[in-house]
C-alpha cells in the first residue's frame, strides 16, 4: 500500500514538473515573439523618420542665380544653417556697387525654394520681402495661345515647366516650328538659320525678335483666333 502511495506521489511530481516546463517554454517563446515585433516596430519607425534627401550646394547656387537674374546683384555662399528645425543654404548679397545688403537669402535644402533670411529675428520670410524684388519678373507666364502679324500666325503650346512648342504658319503653310526654352520669363530658340526670343508685352502682345535684327518672324504679334 505504501509502495503504491509513493508511486502515485512521484507520478504527480513528474506531471507537475512537466507542466512547469511547458509553461516556461511558452513564456520564453512569447517573449521572443514580443522582442522581434518590437524590433520590427522600431525599424519601421526609423524608416518613417528618415529625413528627405537634400540638394547639393551647387544646385542651390544655380537655383539662386536663376532667381536673381536681372536684379543687379550677386550672391556669396555663407553657410548651411539649421533654422527653425530646417536646413537652409544661406547667402550674403552684394549689389551692383559692391555693397553688401543687410538682408541675406536662404535656399531650402530640400525643396530648393528661395527665401529672405532675417538674421535679426532668425526668421525665414517670403522672397517678395527682398529689397531688390521685382514683382514683374516673378510673374508666371502662360506660354499658350495664337498670335498674328501681317498674315503670319504663331501658335504656342506648353511642353513642360521650362519649355513650350511653337509653330509659325502663313496662308496655312508651315514656316517654322520648334521648342523654345524658358528662362526669366523669356523663350529662347536657336537653329542654323534663326535665333528667336519670345516675350510678352504689358498689353498682352507677343514680341518676337532675332537678336535685334528684323526678319520674317520678328515683330509684335497680337492675340488672334484660337485654332
Per-residue pLDDT in tens (0 to 9) along the chain, 227 residues: 444 544 444 554 544 444 444 444 445 555 555 555 555 555 555 555 677 789 999 999 999 998 898 888 999 999 999 998 899 999 999 999 999 999 999 999 999 999 999 988 889 999 999 999 988 776 778 899 999 999 999 999 999 888 999 999 998 899 999 999 998 789 999 988 889 999 999 899 999 998 755 578 999 999 997 65
Q: Say which residues have a Cβ less than 8 Å from residue 88's Cβ, sequence separation at least 6.
A: 80, 81, 106, 107, 108, 109, 115, 117, 124
The cell numbers describing 123, all together, are 526668421
pLDDT at position 9: 46
pLDDT at position 213: 56
pLDDT at position 78: 96
Q: How far is CA 102 from CA 89, 135, 227, in A?
A: 17, 20, 51
User: Which pTM does this prediction carry?
Assistant: 0.51
Task: List the CATH code of the domain at 145-223.
Answer: 2.40.128
pLDDT at position 185: 83
Q: How far is CA 122 from the centre of its chain?
A: 23
pLDDT at position 156: 97
pLDDT at position 71: 87
Distance between CA atoms of residues 94 and 78, nearest Å:
12
DSSP bridge partners of 205: none
pLDDT at position 37: 54
Q: How many CB atoms lie within 10 A of CB 64?
A: 20
pLDDT at position 49: 61
pLDDT at position 189: 94
Q: How far is CA 161 from CA 77, 157, 182, 186, in A?
A: 27, 11, 8, 13
Amino acid at each position: 500500500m505504501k509502495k503504491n502511495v509513493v508511486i502515485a506521489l512521484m507520478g504527480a511530481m513528474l506531471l507537475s514538473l512537466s507542466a512547469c516546463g511547458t509553461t516556461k517554454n511558452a513564456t520564453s517563446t512569447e517573449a521572443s515573439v514580443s522582442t522581434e515585433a518590437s524590433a520590427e516596430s522600431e525599424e519601421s519607425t526609423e524608416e518613417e523618420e528618415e529625413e528627405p534627401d537634400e540638394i547639393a550646394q551647387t544646385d542651390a547656387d544655380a537655383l539662386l542665380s536663376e532667381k536673381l537674374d536681372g536684379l543687379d546683384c550677386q550672391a556669396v555662399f555663407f553657410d548651411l544653417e539649421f533654422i527653425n528645425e530646417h536646413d537652409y543654404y544661406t547667402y550674403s548679397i552684394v549689389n551692383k556697387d559692391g555693397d553688401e545688403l543687410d538682408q541675406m537669402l536662404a535656399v531650402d535644402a530640400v525643396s530648393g525654394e528661395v527665401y529672405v533670411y532675417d538674421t535679426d529675428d532668425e526668421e525665414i520670410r517670403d522672397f517678395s520681402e527682398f529689397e531688390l524684388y521685382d514683382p514683374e519678373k516673378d510673374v508666371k507666364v502662360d506660354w499658350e495661345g495664337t498670335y498674328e502679324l501681317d498674315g503670319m500666325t504663331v501658335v504656342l503650346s506648353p511642353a513642360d515647366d521650362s519649355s513650350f512648342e511653337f509653330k509659325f504658319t502663313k496662308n496655312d503653310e508651315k514656316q517654322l516650328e520648334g521648342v523654345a526654352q524658358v528662362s526669366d520669363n523669356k523663350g529662347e530658340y536657336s537653329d542654323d538659320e534663326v535665333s528667336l526670343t519670345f516675350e510678352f508685352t504689358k498689353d498682352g502682345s507677343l514680341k518676337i525678335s532675332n537678336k535685334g535684327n528684323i526678319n520674317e518672324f520678328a515683330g509684335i504679334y497680337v492675340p488672334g483666333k484660337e485654332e
